[in-house]
Amino acid sequence: MDMVPLVHASLGEQELAAVAEVFSSGWPAGQGPQGKVLEAELADRYGVAGAVAVSNCGAALHLALLALGVKPGDEVIVADYTFPAPAHAVRYVGAVPVFADVRADTGTVDPQAVADLVGPRTVGVIAVDTVGMPADYAELRLIADRYGLFLVEDAACAVGATYQGRPAGALAPVACLSFHGRKGATSGEGGALLTADPALAADARLRSSFGIEPIFDQARVVGLPIPVFTEIGYNYKLSDIAAAILRVQLGRTDELLDRRRAVAARYAELLADEELVTVPQVPSDRTHAWQSYLLTLDPRVDRAAVAADLRTRGIGCGHGTWACHLQPVYETKQSCPVSADLFQRNLAIPMHAELSTDQLERVTEVLRTALQAHSRRTA
């Protein structure tokens, strides 16, 4: 059986050669020469004052909230329909995540829902570029400015996407990227914090290394420098092995994204006449990074049964992402009906740069059969 995985990392000989160079350098750990060059390349790519390479996007979000001075009891409005990393980060600093509902057409946070949730304890907003689709930053920035709130862009899924001609990752004063294995640019795990504020970047870099300056820099000083711990920090460093891989991957972003766009376009063609699914719609003022390809199933379709059929035939699939306000860990009585509906009806089908035309046709053929077999007929 030809297996068609849901995700697949596009890693090859170029990345292996970059890793070999790190082995030869004698510095595979974090915040070394490869990491420094990566940070400079990220700052240049996104036109920001500071970039901090870290172990994952969750770490970047945590560092961002610490640097922004979020305190226990503060409220931070977060997009609801997403992997719950933003809400987790809010809880890491003892603050309260307040969940904002999303747009039905894009799955991104609804600016009006954000505005309606601003209260006396609100200090900021974390918007999410949902599975690669940038949020509505023009309206979100107006809201943040009106109420004196910080705005953070969670661009974990959106490397290569754009909004009004600007790259995702440069759409808010602070942004966080992910380089997880399913992203458009990956080192298996990894992340970055991007900011227009050099002081905020310096704070995040210090906290990412236990609260001290990089050991690599200290090792090059003549004498015996003894680090002084001035902040409680974390071990959020990105290894130089991962940094080297990422430098190659970022150079391949356009190539890999073009292939993902071709996959999305072909899916849209193959499913154009399928009444039981709605394919993703991308507004004209932005482009999608296509981390995932989410179909919205007709309410008559038994999603679990369709997924079982796909997996039985060797085709990877998933539920999409989460309606965070429904997760028991948050114990909230909030209601986000659009997010809850998408959580029940979205289905992720294979999306990556290595998919062949034959595989795409096979996925849609098996999907069509499963949809017909597992949908309730109306009279």
Q: What residues are labeled active site?
A: 183
Q: How far apart are CA 26 and CA 134, in angstroms?
A: 39
> In one letter, which amino acid is 239?
S
Q: How far is CA 142 from CA 48, 86, 123, 151, 233, in A?
A: 20, 21, 15, 10, 33
Residue 226 neighbours by CB under 8 Å, 6+ apart: none
Q: What one-letter code names the amino acid at 107?
A: G
SS3 160: coil
Run of H or E including 265: helix 253-270
Residue 293 phi, psi dihedral angles, 5° rounding: -120, 105
DSSP letter (8 states) at residue 65: H
The secondary structure of 186-248 as a DSSP string is -SSS-EEEEES-HHHHHHHHHHTBTTS--HHHHHTSSS-------S---B-BPBHHHHHHHHH
